[in-house]
Amino acid sequence: MLTDAKLTGLLAEHCRRMNTGDVDYMLELYSRDVRFEDPVGARPMIGHDELRGHFTRAAESETYDIPGTPVAAGDGRHAMLPVTVQMNYLPLGPALVAHGFLDAPRNPRRTLLTLNVVGLIRASDEGLIEACWIYWGRTDVALMDAAAGMALRTAR
């Protein structure tokens, strides 16, 4: 059983490492047989190999996580965190347009996608993330001018 501080620290560390763009560094936080759903309801990614592809696409999009306040469950295994995720519109944005999540921007190269998500994790006794569920839907996705997005990052 992990302490609340360890659980919430694991979430904060996930965001910090995501912002580095280093996929191998990210994977060190996850068990080898991790189950990861992003978004919840999508086909789960199982294990480091599948998660590596997901994190590689995130790094290619220059994903940047702006964490909110984490909350730990009293069971010593679960915690959750609201996060504002920013990423370049390209290369993933056109898929969201194709699925009707948003309209195409006028200038894709100067546009960010923003997602308001809530991440829920289950940690192992060793302090690794063994399951992660990322909650978001159509109303949680928006477009933002890249300059405005960068201003949000530096204001933190």
pLDDT digits (tens, 9 = 90+) for 21-72: 999 999 999 999 999 999 999 999 999 999 999 999 999 999 999 999 999 9
pTM, entire model:
0.91
Quote the pLDDT of residue 153.
64
Q: Residue range 114-143: average pLDDT?
A: 96
Quote the pLDDT of residue 29.
98
Report the SS3 class of residue 123: strand
Please determine, for residue 152, whether its predicted confidence score (pLDDT) is greater than 90: no
Report the SS3 class of residue 95: helix
Q: Give the span between the Cα atoms of 105 and 125, in whole angstroms.
A: 45
